[in-house]
Structure 1
Amino acid sequence: MPPNPTSDLPVHHAVIAYFWAPWHLRRMPGTTPEDRMARAIWCRDHCATLAGRWLLLGFALWMIQISPLGFVFVIGGWPVLGLLFPVTFMVGIAHLVAQLVAQKKAGPPKIDPPVDRDED
């Protein structure tokens, strides 16, 4: 089995890699047009997943804040988790916009042609 390059990362890098597209894109070369196209293809294929993670995080924060446990996260009359919801929502939307821009640059993903199935 080939070594996993992300298994040697510290924990905070693993969390950043789980949520942020710019973290991945900074590690990819971007000097030649082929490299920029590879970055656009990567973003087209993965930014929607990262956006979903941000939106799910925001939803979870909001649900915790409005639950009976939410009073624990009120500091000075400000619902802390409720205030983080718009931030996570905007970051998720930003990832969706990045995915759409990358798809405009790289084109739609390649779809494999249909394969005949044997009914045996």
Structure 2
Amino acid sequence: MPVYLCNKTDQAMRDIEIGTVGLTIKLSMSTPDATGKTPLATTRTSLAIEQLAPNTAVLIDRYDPMLDADFITSYDVAFIDRKAQRQRRRCMIGPGGPSVPFYRVC
């Protein structure tokens, strides 16, 4: 399942940085704590995009329901907006996968 970053504005987004990480308590790779659970996190990945043109999208990840459904996957996006201000946004796909086809991050 493709994951896209969409620019639905009439101005380009610049200097885009995207960070992705997955977290779960259903799997464990180390010694459990007092509750008996140890969260497992995937390796953080990052992607840099110089510019995203108005009304376009770019593929940033592939969500695999067979592998990723146990995780909360977080997408952290930072970019320069049309007023030359740095913006930061976060979107998460919960365990079991997305419940809707699109997430809007305002």
Q: State the TM-score, normalized to the length of structure 2.
A: 0.25
Larger Rg: 1
Higher relative contact order (CA 8 A, sep 6+): 2
Which has more helix, going by share of residues? 1
Q: State the TM-score, normalized to the length of structure 1.
A: 0.23
